[in-house]
Amino acid sequence: MKKPAEKIIAHVDPDLRDLIPGYLENRQKDITTIKKALSASDFDKIRVLGHSMRGSGGGYGFMPISKIGEAFEKAAKKNDPDQVKNNLAKLSDFLQRVTLVYD
């Protein structure tokens, strides 16, 4: 039997409490957008979304999103669909497992 994935604890600034749910929801939408872009071989769109994630993740207290965004950016520049898919899995996993702690 597969054990449940461990939660990822994210310590977040309480001042961002109202913004975080929307931010994470938008990253969930990015997954759908990147999948569509990938099926259309629109690596430029993937690069732009990755760049945006790279820039915003840390500001919201989510360094893993920044790192994944950077990886999307690099994969898109190389037109590497396998790396894009790999990073989609990482982003999806992070979003499913993240637990917020406001402190």
Q: Tell me: the pLDDT tens digits for 58-97?
A: 999 999 999 999 999 999 999 999 999 999 999 999 999 9
Nearest residue to 10 (alpha-carbon basis) of 55, 57, 51:
57
Is the overall model pTM greater than 0.85, yes or no? yes
- For range 22-37, the mean pLDDT: 98
Q: How far is CA 15 from the centre of its chain?
A: 21
Residue bearing tokens 């894009």: 84
Which residues are CB-neighbours of 28 under 8 A, at least 6 positions away? Answer: 95
**Band of residue 2 on the pLDDT scale cut at 50, 70, 90:** low
